[in-house]
Amino acid sequence: MSRIDKRFADLKARGRAGLVTFITAGDPDHDTCARLLAQLPVAGADVIELGMPFSDPMADGPSIEAAGLRALANGASMKTTLKLVTDFRKKDNDTPIVLMGYFNPISAYGVDKFLVDAKAAGVDGLIVVDLPPEEDDELCIPAVKAGIHFIRLATPTTDAARLPTVLQNTSGFLYYVSIAGITGAAAADPDAVGKAVALIKQHTKIPVAVGFGIRDGKRAAAIASVADAAVVGTALVERVAEAQMKKIDPAEHVLELVRELSTAVRGVAKAAA
């Protein structure tokens, strides 16, 4: 059983949803990011999404785009991103790590080399925003053969006719984007999300994590009540920028919010398996 499968099975047995946290690799710099990454599970992150810095994102709002640019300006690359995972795994062999981003940096690194190095580093899954199911031969199928989950996005515009195609070759969990737009653009509506998750679960048994538009504990708890996990990204990377302005420790400023989110999510009781 993979780390992701094991983590969601454990969450179900415990009768609670999970907290998925997103940070950008190398933001604001490699050493601070490494320190933050190591402490995320301690603060309550159940699954970690690590953004692969890219100069031309399509689905990311200004905050995550700025995080990527900060990281790139400080020397972040695919090589340093994978080193972050390698170093994390020296002390944590349980918390799933999913790399999230775009195909361009992977293609530039070389797909075959990327999959070998990502697996060796301890990467558990990939979310590649700009590769639709029609392009599965490019990365999805090779990744699955390499033992790395390929996690697909579904959105409010994904209708019942399209959903089976989206779910094809998707494993680990499905990432449901709660709003029609970029990250951080609007707040998630728990009622609408609940109806969407219920529809998705008519087509699949894999867990459904919901992200985009979740900024605080109250909304994370509301999403946790209707989904298998709540994903928070923009609010966390904005904390890095805030910390730099206030000249305080970015890692601790992010972890403070992760603790709040984790407490809220863990406070939502669900039926145990």
Whether the CA torsion 79, 241, 261, 195 is positive or negative: it is negative
Residue pair 97/48 in contact by the 8 Å Cβ criterion: yes
What pLDDT sits at residue 117? 98
Q: Is residue 103 part of a domain?
A: yes
Q: Is residue 273 part of a domain?
A: no
d(CA 34, CA 17): 26
Closest CA to 211 of 177, 262, 257: 177
Identify residue 166 by its one-letter amino acid code: V
Whether residue 49 lies in the annotated active site? yes
Residue pair 60/73 in contact by the 8 Å Cβ criterion: no
Here the tokens at position 97 are 């790590």
What pLDDT sits at residue 271? 63
What pLDDT sits at residue 193? 86
Whether residue 260 lies in the annotated active site? no
Q: 232 lies in which domain range?
A: 3-267
Q: Is residue 99 part of a domain?
A: yes
Number of domains within the chain: 1
pLDDT (average), residues 135-144: 95
pTM of the model: 0.94
Of the residues 60, 65, 124, 238, which is catalytic? 60
Question: Any idea what the CATH number is for the domain that residue 183 is in?
Answer: 3.20.20.70
More confident residue, 160 or 27: 27
Of the residues 27, 46, 49, 65, which is catalytic? 49
pLDDT (average), residues 140-167: 93
Q: Are strands 125-128 and 97-101 parallel, antiparallel or unpaired?
A: parallel
Q: Is residue 272 part of a domain?
A: no
pLDDT, tens digit, 9 for 90 and up, residues 85-124: 999 999 999 999 999 999 999 999 999 999 999 999 999 9
Q: What is the DSSP letter of 135?
A: G
Q: What are the φ and ψ backbone dihedral angles of 155, each rounded to 5 degrees?
A: -130, 175
